[in-house]
Structure 1
């Protein structure tokens, strides 16, 4: 199967597989099914060239970085790939809210790079990137090592705005990057007294995973109902209202969890006082026993260091979505994918996986003397845990619009569940396993 057909079938196949598998429920299969993914990648892996014709450096080993590294090796003609990552393992943000309720362990969300090395011949370098030369196409590491390549792909994820008054305190963890803060927030919730008050803040858009804060609120509310009778969860939304799955989350907040959740729109946190566990917001002063303070977000710090944060109020990187090359003058050999890029697609793990494939396809074509696919298609889908045993789903397909120079939703191929059920919750694990298997081989 050629790359163009593969990308298109991945988008529409995933949606079709989702609706068929659920019988009206939802799923997110990055390649239109785990079996077809395994077959396609194993056949292609056997044909990977050992002759080096060009070099690509990938910065960041998350969903986008791992996927683009793998598919550059699968689809490229003699492309040597070096993946630079700070940590020797990756911890998935997807499903991490279930650690807060004790339904998932951190170890179940941890993935290694062993198969990317052994099966696909990717070189891994564990270190800190401190500088990027977009013109010279070079990367400098903290230890002084300089790496050179024909192309650089950046997938550094997100960074967070400083919250006035927080000053590095761990009393109000965001837990929006899975890791120590996830464990910390879980322990704080476990210690919440009965009839206690928990607070969750939702930042202004755009942020990582649009449904994420709302589904976390639902999950925590259901857990509080069972484990902390009489407790309350105050949700402070900096946006004018719920930004996604409006019907489902409105019904969940006001109906199902109405005795636990107290929702405030247009409630932006302006400063905090960790000593008194107080938030100063545009809707007044709020105090809580446990505070999940999720700050406003921007591209990974390295994007600003390289001078590539030229979109969305200087928060994210403008890119040409045909190849995800930077739109900064002279930086077109640097490609930015995942949460750091500014596109019309949601910032989410599934989209990072999809952007990575479009980017890998484009770079493979360019390095072989061709041009990027002029009509890429991607798809986005996710589950939202409405209770500890039920989930809703949402899916959308995006197609490149040459007039808008952007990826636009294909209405006929987009859908959402009406309500939630236990079947979707059970299928969530199948979706997660397929997506992570594709990204991390």
Structure 2
């Protein structure tokens, strides 16, 4: 339930009947306002789509994304137990260019000139913008010795996911699987715990191993979300869960990790498969443009405009609001942002009471999944997004086969709303 300016409402506010097909051009003599969106994940792709759905020919929209195909991290843990493939989770941008009239540029950004409002791309192309939306996702905090070609994170889906799957497939009975959970905030709060369950179930119940060990090294003081559900599954699968971990280094050649636990002395753990998901921060483009404060990018949640620069909006994983970092939330924020950009370009007031929501189904085996949902609303007193009472993480469902089935309905709807 995202509260934003619907297309019908926008048309009405601009003086058009509900049957009108397009928003009229803005009353300005120069070329149409140009909105450039950088990043083709759930947030950026949704923003570009809804800008054109609601703005029609009154706005030019360009989506800059280096890859021609996006692999969804949502459901990607199911690649590890062979329930899905990365091809099943791959999406292109055909509809964005052919159906919505979005300019697609497969390139990366080298620099942002905030004063003159110009992007320079890797190819040397320059793009002038009236509004810029950055949806670059997240980046990792470096860990000494960590080589992702040998020790995958598999937190950005695609080749990393398949690398981790291949390593798991090569495990023998008695081998050790070790994975880490990054410190909050990080992308997809239940994701690491979900992965531990999926892998433990696969090794035990699909491969039939009785002597494999699964260890989870958590940077947090406890399981951060759905603690009862994941705690119970860890007990069932015999997962060795260890909180309050600080990683010192990784030896990627020997697949060993050195860390301290509860502030104690350093120790080293060896593994046949080591899956390190580092602590996270805003995307590199945010840091390069000086739009961060600490590890994340502060924004005005009424519009997602950066508090560090005018006419630049930041949505998805990089933003610094208290909202979770998830694909569903990125999709929800994108609509608020698209709404705000169109309102601003048309000289209209921003929506004073936006709401966003996030939902997630987490597979915990090859047949069962849990779920959770949260709704956020703008608090004018604090000027921040806050949980709606009674709709926070306690709104969750225990693992069941019905939830496993519903997981694909939820994800299918989200995929369609973003990419179709």
Q: TM-score, normalised by structure 2?
A: 0.91
CA distance in 2, matches of 1:60, 1:382: 22
CA distance in 1, matches of 2:4, 2:283: 30
CA distance in 2, matches of 1:234, 1:439: 35
Answer whether contact 1:3 1:75 (CA < 8 A) is retained: no
**Could you say which residue in structure 2 is the equivalent of 1:53?**
32
CA distance in 2, matches of 1:262, 1:333: 48
**Could you say which residue in structure 2 is the equivalent of 1:276?**
254
Answer whether contact 1:44 1:74 (CA < 8 A) is retained: no
Q: 1:40-79 residue pairs with structure 2 within 5 A?
A: 46-47=21-22, 53-76=32-55, 78-79=58-59
**Deviation digits for residues 81-134 of structure 1 (CA, Å, limit 9, x no counterpart):** 000000011110100111111110111100011111111110100111110122
| CA-CA distance at 1:353 after TM superposition | 0.2
**Deviation digits for residues 358-404 of structure 1 (CA, Å, limit 9, x no counterpart):** 00000000000112111101111101111111011101110100111
Relative to structure 1, the CA distance from residue 271 to residue 3 in structure 2 (aligned partners, 3 Å threshold; closer, same or farther) is: closer
Relative to structure 1, the CA distance from residue 160 to residue 150 in structure 2 (aligned partners, 3 Å threshold; closer, same or farther) is: same
Answer whether contact 1:354 1:379 (CA < 8 A) is retained: yes
Answer whether contact 2:142 2:278 (CA < 8 A) is retained: yes
CA distance in 2, matches of 1:426, 1:300: 34
Do residues 244 (structure 1) and 219 (structure 2) align?
no
Gaps of 5+ in 1: 8-42
Relative to structure 1, the CA distance from residue 209 to residue 306 in structure 2 (aligned partners, 3 Å threshold; closer, same or farther) is: same
* Structure 1 residue matching 2:115: 3-state secondary structure: coil
Do residues 223 (structure 1) and 208 (structure 2) align?
no
**Deviation digits for residues 208-260 of structure 1 (CA, Å, limit 9, x no counterpart):** 00000000111111001021332110000011111111111111112x22x2x
**Could you say which residue in structure 1 is the equivalent of 2:128?**
148
**Could you say which residue in structure 2 is the equivalent of 1:384?**
362
**Structure with greater helix percent:** 1
Do residues 112 (structure 1) and 89 (structure 2) align?
no
* Structure 2 residue matching 1:207: 3-state secondary structure: coil
CA distance in 1, matches of 2:176, 2:411: 32
Aligned counterpart in structure 1 of residue 165 of structure 2, from 186, 191, 200: 186
| CA-CA distance at 1:285 after TM superposition | 1.6
CA distance in 1, matches of 2:148, 2:375: 40
CA distance in 2, matches of 1:45, 1:139: 34
Do residues 97 (structure 1) and 80 (structure 2) align?
no
Relative to structure 1, the CA distance from residue 44 to residue 361 in structure 2 (aligned partners, 3 Å threshold; closer, same or farther) is: farther
CA distance in 2, matches of 1:200, 1:145: 41
Answer whether contact 2:182 2:279 (CA < 8 A) is retained: yes
> What is the number of equivalent residue pairs in this alignment?
396
**Could you say which residue in structure 1 is the equivalent of 2:112?**
132
Q: 1:29-40 residue pairs with structure 2 within 5 A?
A: none
| CA-CA distance at 1:48 after TM superposition | 5.9
* Structure 2 residue matching 1:363: 3-state secondary structure: helix
Whose RCO is larger (CA < 8 A, sep 6+)? 1
Gaps of 5+ in 2: 8-17, 262-266
Answer whether contact 2:137 2:282 (CA < 8 A) is retained: yes
* Structure 2 residue matching 1:430: 3-state secondary structure: helix
* Structure 1 residue matching 2:298: 3-state secondary structure: strand
CA distance in 1, matches of 2:419, 2:20: 14
Answer whether contact 1:158 1:339 (CA < 8 A) is retained: yes
Answer whether contact 2:34 2:129 (CA < 8 A) is retained: yes
CA distance in 1, matches of 2:33, 2:409: 36
| CA-CA distance at 1:352 after TM superposition | 0.1
**Could you say which residue in structure 2 is the equivalent of 1:34?**
none
**Deviation digits for residues 179-224 of structure 1 (CA, Å, limit 9, x no counterpart):** 1111100000000111110001001111100000000111111001
CA distance in 1, matches of 2:6, 2:347: 21
